[in-house]
């Protein structure tokens, strides 16, 4: 039987996402003169499809379907991202000069969301075949072994960071790749070398893009007072920006979180969603939850995510097949890093990256792709053999 707890936890998060798409989209509905149920209707449709798809995948034989589906998502995602810049405007939605969504039957499809699941499967499948324990290998030998994956990731960075102008997704994929590589058997020394190299690459991407530099400065103008309080004044005065433009979105997000307090303003009672936070039901959904449901609501959401990740990592730990182990782990890492990048961004700890919260943020592609990833893990969970006395 598929892991029922994992299925129920995912369904619970999807249900919360449906509620958020209704209560947090009020201003956008009024502004664009949509029907009151415009967003919740679309989200509910995708949610039902996602839940049915997740459970349907769970019934399939992983020995037959996991490999096919995983590679189809990987190569299909690459092809779609390659052709998107050349598709006509009638088929591709363009925002800020970047083409990230394909219009399909009234919905917008984001290929990168599905590609991420395929990318994790490709790494799990390839790592289980090519990598093993590092033994006495030096860093250079490990890097030679890693070089083909580095070349693939450079292609991924080009497709996502340059063609789609979406560095946030690259950050999530880079962190997932690094940690999967470590759990696949690479040494801690090589892991830290890889993290250091990744940081250098991201600094290069930031420093060569004016809008990314401005975003960093805008974030720092808001966060500097808190951070520099821990530094001696002799150092802080050299790091302080006196006339930087404050990131108003982060400011309103923090105010919304503060306004929610412990118990929140109640369902539909939030005020910062009324034009202060633009489209709070998408990237700022956690701030909206914090205002309307307070600390208690945020705690409940975090608890559900922790329980979800616990099930994913438990399935990974019980898997006797290396591919199943790494894939289940990778799906958990994708969800973890997406949640953390979003949570840190809306709380002002890091710059905002435009990463959606899995299952909670409004958006069909994010929800459906995440559901596919969970469905594939549910497919694998049927093969798990629990030890006698071990709780399922």
Is the torsion defined by CA of 315, 321, 326, 328 positive or negative? Answer: negative
Identify the pLDDT of residue 369: 95
Of residues 192 and 73, more confidence is placed in 73
Query: The whole model's pTM is what?
Result: 0.88
Confidence of residue 279 (pLDDT cuts 50, 70, 90): confident
Most confident of 54-63, 241-250, 353-362: 54-63
- Give the chain's length: 392
One DSSP character per residue, 141-167 reads HHHHHHHHHHHHHHHHHIIIIISS--H
Read off the pLDDT of each residue in 59-79 and give the average, rounded to a whole number. Answer: 94
How distant, in Å, are the alpha carbons of 45, 144, 198, 327, 358 from that of 15? 12, 46, 36, 25, 12
- Residues near 112 by beta carbon (within 8 Å), at least 6 away in sequence: 77, 81, 100, 160, 164, 166, 169
The stretch 261-285 carries a mean pLDDT of 87
Tens of pLDDT, residues 117-136: 999 999 999 998 876 655 56
Residue 92, beta-bridge partner list: 102
Helix (H, G, I), strand (E, B) or coil at 104: strand
Contact by Cβ (8 Å): 99, 87: yes
**In Å, what is the CA distance from 103 to each residue of 14, 19, 91, 169, 351?**
23, 25, 5, 20, 29
**pLDDT tier, 97 (very low <50, low <70, confident <90, very high otherwise):** low
d(CA 347, CA 108): 28
Predicted pLDDT at 242: 64
pLDDT of 245 > 60? The answer is: no
Backbone torsions φ then ψ of 387, nearest 5 degrees: -70, 155
Per-residue model confidence (pLDDT) at position 380:
94
SS3 call for 226: helix
Distances in Å between the alpha carbon of 131 and those of 151, 163, 186, 319, 339?
16, 31, 8, 17, 29
pLDDT at 3 over 80: yes
Q: What is the mean pLDDT of the chain?
A: 85
Tens digits of residue pLDDT in 147-195 = 888 899 888 888 887 788 788 898 899 899 989 988 888 778 888 888 8
- The mean pLDDT value for 275-302 works out to 91
Most confident of the following: 67-71, 186-190, 193-197, 220-224: 67-71
Domain ranges of the chain: 4-381
Does the pLDDT at position 389 exceed 50? no
Mean pLDDT of 59-72: 94
CA 92 to chain centre: 22
**Mean pLDDT for the stretch of residues 351-362:** 87
DSSP secondary structure letters along 162-188 = ISS--HHHHHHHHHHHHHHHHHTT--H
**pLDDT tier for residue 230 given thresholds of 50, 70 and 90:** confident
| Average pLDDT of span 326-351 | 91
68: helix, strand or coil:
helix
Task: Give the model's confidence band at 387: pLDDT under 50 very low, under 70 low, under 90 confident, else very high.
Answer: very low
More confident residue, 34 or 206: 34
Q: Report the pLDDT averaged over residues 260-275.
A: 89
pLDDT the model gives residue 111: 92
Residues 6+ apart with CB under 8 A from 311: 3, 5, 6, 9
Q: Which of 66-70, 209-213, 363-367 has the lowest mean pLDDT?
A: 209-213
């Amino acid at each position: 039987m598929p892991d029922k707890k994992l299925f129920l936890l995912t369904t619970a998060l999807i249900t919360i996402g449906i509620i958020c798409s209704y209560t947090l989209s009020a201003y956008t509905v009024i502004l664009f003169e949509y029907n009151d149920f415009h967003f919740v209707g679309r989200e509910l449709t995708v949610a039902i499809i996602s839940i049915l798809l997740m459970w349907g995948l769970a019934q399939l034989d992983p020995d037959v379907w996991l490999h096919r589906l995983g590679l189809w998502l990987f190569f299909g995602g690459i092809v779609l991202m390659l052709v998107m810049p050349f598709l006509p405007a009638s088929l591709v939605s363009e925002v800020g000069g970047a083409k990230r969504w394909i219009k399909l039957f009234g919905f917008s499809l984001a290929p990168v969301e599905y590609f991420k699941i395929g990318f994790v499967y490709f790494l799990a499948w390839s790592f289980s075949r090519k990598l093993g324990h590092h033994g006495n290998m030096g860093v250079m030998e490990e890097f030679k072994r890693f070089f083909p994956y580095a070349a693939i990731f450079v292609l991924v960075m080009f497709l996502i960071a340059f063609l789609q102008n979406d560095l946030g997704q690259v950050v999530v994929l880079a962190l997932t790749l690094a940690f999967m590589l470590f759990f696949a058997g690479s040494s801690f020394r090589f892991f830290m070398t890889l993290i250091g190299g990744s940081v250098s690459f991201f600094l290069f991407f930031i420093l060569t893009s004016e809008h990314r530099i401005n975003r960093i400065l805008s974030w720092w103008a808001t966060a500097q007072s808190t951070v520099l309080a821990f530094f001696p004044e002799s150092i802080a005065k050299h790091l302080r920006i006196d006339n930087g433009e404050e990131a108003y979105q982060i400011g309103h997000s923090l105010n919304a979180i503060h306004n929610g307090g412990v118990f929140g303003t109640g369902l539909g009672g939030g005020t910062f969603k009324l034009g202060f936070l633009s489209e709070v039901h998408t990237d700022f959904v956690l701030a909206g939850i914090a205002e309307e449901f307070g600390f208690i609501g945020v705690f409940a959401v975090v608890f559900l995510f922790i329980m979800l990740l616990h099930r994913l990592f438990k399935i990974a730990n019980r898997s006797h097949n290396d591919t199943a182990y790494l894939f289940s782990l990778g799906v958990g890492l994708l969800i973890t890093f997406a949640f953390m990048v979003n949570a840190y961004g809306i709380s002002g700890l890091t710059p905002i990256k435009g990463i959606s919260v899995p299952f909670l943020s409004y958006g069909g592609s994010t929800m459906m792709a995440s559901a596919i990833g969970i469905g594939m893990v549910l497919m694998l969970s049927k093969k798990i053999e629990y030890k006698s006395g071990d709780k399922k």
